[in-house]
Chains A and B, each alone.
Chain A
């Protein structure tokens, strides 16, 4: 339907529906097994994920974790000791007792963005140098279902020469990555960087010095478009990048592969779906909750203190226990905001479901209607919304 597409992504024996949103989850937040490996608000989110007793032992939340995003670089976010780090990478996430109720798809990012200036994992008493081989080893140990090569993301201030240098470094890593992961059972995604057609084309031209285009096409199972985090608040630049990315992938013969856009604001989701993106990851649900933001919809947020839980029928807001927590009547602050994050995620997941159904219907006007009623109502994103409708969904005045 236009450029938008709906489908299924099959990885091993997991199947997820697309388009889909992967919430960012921090599996290892400095704690131990007793605290679901900790991480403040992350801990509470994980308790929802596994249906822990603390949140009422409800397994109604598992379905919202059909696919999650996490990163190698987050292992040392909490300044852990060497011993604890060793425990974290000791066995795959899904093989741990505590995570056994969870069976979603894990997209395990290489953390290139974090390692850009400092190519090491720094703990409290150790430093682990990072290279492609090391990253792949960690990805394998943690059991990522979708993994990417170690990349060198670009920034808007990079010169052409700096971008080429980063592409060459990434190209070398891709060569090593494909070699090491040849037998890997999970899916492998190729990172693509650039803000417009020419930049992405130059990136691909550069990496094909290391790995031929044929080999890229036959080895990789998907494409992950990165480097867009600095574009978070520049909707128009984000759209340019995604439109051009489509064109580049088409011209290079990668357009059959699923496309993931790394690290976006969830408000852009309907527009990216319309432009033909299959999956995205976002930490918006968490970031907003940390600041007390409670989603009314994809577009509207209120402070949790002003939220009327009666107006929401999600499992979080339907639980008296969780309502008390959200009202501040909780053992820890993270417990007050954890349920808010979970509620936010449910709102996002419901919206993506809605978008998916509209794409499936095959009637582009139904997606246009959705965009008109949501993203286009918001003045800062209105122009971008119209642009996408014109570009990908047949326009308003044909």
Chain B
């Protein structure tokens, strides 16, 4: 006995409709459908409603016949073979609504299809049906108008989250409105796209208008040295380039186009989501960006400078078009390698190298300018006699050297300095060598958990927090008693045969400097 496997149709519809998480995908699907129907104008209107949104999509394309209408409502029964929507999944997003009304004029016939409560019925495990009525119209009319009532857009179309700005960038980033096809094909027809949002969503503009073309910022090959950021608006276009890539089983064609540029140039590109997450190399199908492939750019050339679109029709997409499914296939491997190879040429382009060099030099000059500003402050501080406290061991020793001749008891010269050892310096005082620890504050010796066994002398700027020192006296240090006499500047360490260590706090010997005469330079 043979048996055919069954499909639970309701579950399939529910599954597919739920698969689309971003309500903006309604717009993406509609634009592609209208483009495929040869529309030269499409208008989309979105209004906020209590339960969701009302959406109207109106185009002047070739319209649908009965068979087209069926594949509009059917699942996995598309008449397309290769372009967006060939799986017949896209329009099923409309099922998340209270009503779908389609009016379409094709060859002098108007077909009107109405489907009521699709979402409610699916959730009640009932397959929704639609009613079609046919009326003749004059041949002057053409096009399709789709009205979706109470589309369950979740938070997506709320006034808080949807703005003209967001729509425009989404259009350019995720839909045919951001297509790069026009750079390669002469037969890509132009389509005017208009989106209108209800005033309750965004009343800052009456509407947004764009075309089905992504344009790069204008080229600017030369740096602008009048700016502190001379490379910022530099921009070079690469392509369009057609590349054939062979793989085990055939050949695939890549259409690569892109630009390299500074931040100001890149800011002229549309943004969708996180600005920094959109640069690099995008893989595309139907010339619409899908996923990034930033490993195609070597690490030493940050992907941030690049914006490339690599189109390949042999990419297979998930139902919601968000991810590439055939990443383990030989064709995808070939695509990756060819992309990497092409980008390696861009990265070695002398113009790009020069652009990086101009950025680097400008960065160095900016840093130098900042340093110059701080140098001025430092000089002013020195001239005012307030050189401030030493902030590291070396500065402590410089202070010692500077003040030796003036104020210190007994000349001390540093003969050897190893800042990383326990005994930082070997000093000579009155002809004798002494082992010295050097600290900004005496307390640092304890913080760094250094011993006193080999130390004769601690050279420091000051004692630090006396309370901390008292605590060590009270509790002992590294298991031994310690006595610190800050008046006499000495300490005794150890229970048996204690070690005596002299303390030299430089700040105690130095008067604040009066401003000194400065050579005029």
Contacts and interface: CB of A to CB of B under 8 A. Distances in A.
A390 B350 contact: yes
B241 to A, nearest CB: 9
Interface in B312-361: 341, 344-351
Nearest to B298: A383
Nearest to B260: A397
Could you say which of B345, B346, B348, B351 has the most chain A C-beta atoms within 10 Å of its C-beta?
B348
A377 B341 CA distance: 8
B344 A397 contact: no
Contacts, number: 25
Contacts of B345: 386, 396-397
A397 B341 contact: no
A378 to B, nearest CB: 11
A395 interface: yes
Contacts of B238: 397
A245 B341 CA distance: 29
A383 B346 CA distance: 11
Contacts of A395: 349-350
A228 interface: no
A387 B238 CA distance: 17
B229 to A, nearest CB: 24
A386 B344 contact: yes
Nearest to B353: A390
A390 B347 CA distance: 11
Could you say which of B236, B238, B341, B347 has the most chain A C-beta atoms within 10 Å of its C-beta?
B341
Contacts of A259: none
Interface string A355-398: 00000000000000000000011000011001100100001110
Query: For chain A, which range describes its interface: under 10, 10 to 19, 20 to 34, or 35 or more residues?
Result: 10 to 19
A2 to B, nearest CB: 14
B348 to A, nearest CB: 3
B481 to A, nearest CB: 56
A387 B341 CA distance: 14
A396 B344 contact: no
Nearest to B352: A397
B349 A376 contact: no
Contacts of A382: 341, 344
Contacts of A397: 236, 238, 345-346, 349, 351
Contacts of B350: 390, 395
Contacts of A386: 344-345, 347-348
Contacts of B348: 383, 386-387, 390
A396 B349 contact: yes
Contacts of A383: 344, 348
A92 B351 CA distance: 54
Nearest to A376: B341
Interface in A218-238: none
A116 to B, nearest CB: 36
A395 B236 CA distance: 15
Contacts of B341: 376-377, 382
Nearest to B300: A383
A390 B344 contact: no
Nearest to B351: A397
A376 B341 CA distance: 8
Contacts of A376: 341, 344
A300 to B, nearest CB: 16
Contacts of B346: 397
B315 to A, nearest CB: 23
A390 B351 CA distance: 10
A279 to B, nearest CB: 27
A140 B236 CA distance: 59
20 contacts: A376-B341, A377-B341, A382-B344, A383-B344, A383-B348, A386-B345, A386-B347, A386-B348, A387-B348, A390-B348, A390-B349, A390-B350, A395-B349, A395-B350, A396-B349, A397-B236, A397-B238, A397-B346, A397-B349, A397-B351
Interface of A: 376-377, 382-383, 386-387, 390, 395-397
Given A382-B341, A390-B348, A395-B349, 15 more contacts: A376-B344, A377-B341, A382-B344, A383-B344, A383-B348, A386-B348, A387-B348, A390-B349, A390-B350, A395-B350, A396-B345, A396-B349, A397-B238, A397-B349, A397-B351
Interface of B: 236, 238, 341, 344-351
In the complex, the 3 A-B pairs of residues with the closest C-beta atoms, listed nearest first: A386-B348, A396-B345, A397-B349
